[in-house]
Amino acid sequence: MMAVDSSMPAGIPPARGRLRACVALSELTWFRVGGPAEVMFRPADVADLSKFLRRLAPELPVTVLGVGSNVLVRDGGIAGVVIRLGGAFARVGGDGAEVVTGAGALDGNVALAAAARGLAGLEFLSGIPGTIGGALRMNAGAYGREMRDVVVAAEAVDRGGTVHRLGPEHLGFGYRQTAVPESWIFTRATLRGTPDNKTAIAARIDEIRAARERTQPVRERTGGSTFKNPPGRKAWELIRDAGAANLSRGAALVSPQHANFLINTGGATAADLENLGLAVAERVHAASGIALEWEIHVLGAAAGAGPADCEGKGA
Ligand SMILES: Cc1cc2nc3c(=O)[nH]c(=O)nc-3n(C[C@H](O)[C@H](O)[C@H](O)COP(=O)(O)OP(=O)(O)OC[C@H]3O[C@@H](n4cnc5c(N)ncnc54)[C@H](O)[C@@H]3O)c2cc1C
């Protein structure tokens, strides 16, 4: 039986999945900063998501999050509905050379599932700490491979609740982006591997994990690569050469391990991290004339400008 929760803002329809008001996003993002989601929805399945979106008041904004490994949520939080895909979207299956995965599955689990079936080509996913939905949106990649090389089909739900089946020709992958409209929510993907020896695949996954530990601050509160690499250049080199690698704002620092990562050393606000990113970009521009572009998605409202109903709650 679906009931409308009286603490919900107007325009939120009932659903089979979990609906909560004023949920702290600082607990759900890698940076461990950010204000509340006005409403958090974890759909029970695709039909629940589709029905919810169809009935949701059209003026309410919708934002989807994976595990928040490439986002900076501002201190005022996110108005409207924030959607996170729950357990029903984390299943990984398929047969032959294909891996069919829910968009809520962790990339690392998909890499391991493919390895267990003796499918090579998906090892790069073991080094990316996000979900398949985030990987599709970002065309995530590492070590010379990216989603574009392995995705054969995907499924997404648009803001009106219509479910779309997408082939590679619809996905329009580019550098850390896809042509699929921002408001569409990926729910599933079919990836293709190539048969190989299981021990060799497992060894490549181990190598990738070890390389990650050496080169990236994987145990810190971070948001992954802050800026996209400009054509033919590396963002971290531009930051180093501009003398911006030792900048800080409050408890937000440029990572001493990798200059294109920002870290929250504890107690930083989203504003500290965003201002630090802007200061780094300004230094690089002054030194090289190159305008760095955020790779991290900066979402939501500044402190004091977020969802009014959540003032003092969920921050
Ligand atoms: C230590 C570290 C190392 C990293 N290394 C790499 C790397 O080597 N290569 C790389 O590419 N990235 C890397 N990243 C960045 C990040 O892990 C990837 O971009 C990842 O794909 C983001 O997935 P997520 O589920 O966390 O998405 P989130 O960070 O939650 O969201 C990112 C974007 O995707 C959108 N999104 C999320 N889920 C969906 C969905 N189901 N449908 C539609 N849109 C969605 C969000 O709205 C947002 O715009 C790294 C991050 C960290 C913290």
Model pLDDT for residues 194-244, shown as the tens digit of each residue: 999 999 999 999 999 999 989 889 899 999 999 999 999 999 999 999 999
Average pLDDT over residues 24-41: 97
Range list of H helices, 258-307: 270-288
Helix H or strand E segment including 79: strand 78-84
Query: What are the structure tokens assigned to 206, written together?
Result: 């181990």
**Which long-range contacts (C-beta less than 8 Å, at least 24 apart) are formed by 84-93?**
84/28, 84/40, 84/41, 84/42, 85/42, 85/43, 85/131, 85/133, 85/185, 85/187, 86/17, 86/18, 86/42, 86/43, 86/44, 88/43, 88/44, 88/45, 89/43, 89/45, 89/133, 89/187, 89/188
Q: How far is the CA of 66 from the centre of ligand 1 (A)?
A: 7
Cβ(133) to ligand 1 under 6 A?
yes
Cβ(130) to ligand 1 under 6 A?
yes
What is the C-alpha to C-alpha distance for residues 224 and 277, in angstroms, rounded to an integer?
13
Q: Residue 315: pLDDT above 60?
A: no
143 by Cβ neighbours in 10 Å (0-12 / 13-18 / 19+) ranks as: middle
Query: By three-state DSSP, how is residue 1 classified?
Result: coil
- pLDDT tens for each residue of 238-285: 999 999 999 999 999 999 999 999 999 999 999 999 999 999 999 999
- Backbone phi, then psi, for 270, in 5-degree steps? -65, -35
- pLDDT tens for each residue of 117-143: 999 999 999 999 999 999 999 999 999
Q: How far is the CA of 136 from the centre of ligand 1 (A)?
A: 9
Residues with a known catalytic role: 176, 225, 295
Q: Residue 1: pLDDT above 60?
A: no
pLDDT at residue 3, as a whole number = 47
Q: If you take atom 8 of ligand 1, which residue's CA is the nearest one?
A: 142
Q: Residue 2: pLDDT above 80?
A: no
* CATH number 3.40.30.10 is the correct assignment for the domain at 221-299: no
Cβ(34) to ligand 1 under 6 A?
no
Q: How far is the CA of 32 from the centre of ligand 1 (A)?
A: 15
Q: Residue 313: pLDDT above 90?
A: no
Q: If you take atom 19 of ligand 1, which residue's CA is the nearest one?
A: 70
Is the pTM for the entire model greater than 0.85?
yes
Query: What are the structure tokens assigned to 134, written together?
Result: 């985030």
Q: If you take atom 34 of ligand 1, which residue's CA is the nearest one?
A: 134
Q: Which of 251, 162, 147, 133 is nearest to 192 (CA)?
A: 147
Q: How far is the CA of 159 from the centre of ligand 1 (A)?
A: 21
Q: Which of 297, 274, 311, 267 is nearest to 26 (CA)?
A: 267
User: Pairing between strand 71-73 and 297-299?
Assistant: parallel
Average pLDDT over residues 75-86: 96
Residue with tokens 């690499």: 229
CATH number of the 18-87 domain:
3.30.43.10
Q: Using alpha carbons only, what angle is made at residue 228 by residues 80 and 108, rounded to the nearest 5 degrees? A: 70
- Rounded to 10 degrees, the C-alpha dihedral 266/271/276/279 comes to -170
Mean residue pLDDT of the chain comes to 95
Q: Which atom of ligand 1 is nearest to the CA of 223?
A: 53
Could you tell me if 16 and 2 are in contact, meaning their C-beta atoms sit under 8 angstroms apart?
Answer: yes
Domain ranges of the chain: 18-87, 89-215, 221-299
Query: By three-state DSSP, how is residue 209 classified?
Result: helix
Could you tell me if 76 and 299 are in contact, meaning their C-beta atoms sit under 8 angstroms apart?
Answer: no
Q: How far apart are the first and last CA of the chain?
A: 31
Q: If you take atom 43 of ligand 1, which residue's CA is the nearest one?
A: 185
pLDDT at residue 86, as a whole number = 84
Q: How far is the CA of 211 from the centre of ligand 1 (A)?
A: 19
> What is the best residue among 31, 64, 70, 257 to mutate for testing ligand 1's pocket, by most ligand atoms within 8 Å of CB?
70
CATH number of the 89-215 domain:
3.30.465.10
pLDDT at residue 25, as a whole number = 97
Q: How far is the CA of 135 from the centre of ligand 1 (A)?
A: 6
Cβ(104) to ligand 1 under 6 A?
no
What is the C-alpha to C-alpha distance for residues 268 and 199, in angstroms, rounded to an integer?
43
Q: Which atom of ligand 1 is nearest to the CA of 220?
A: 1
Q: Residue 155: pLDDT above 80?
A: yes
Average pLDDT over residues 3-31: 89
Residues of the chain with pLDDT > 90, as a percent, come to 91
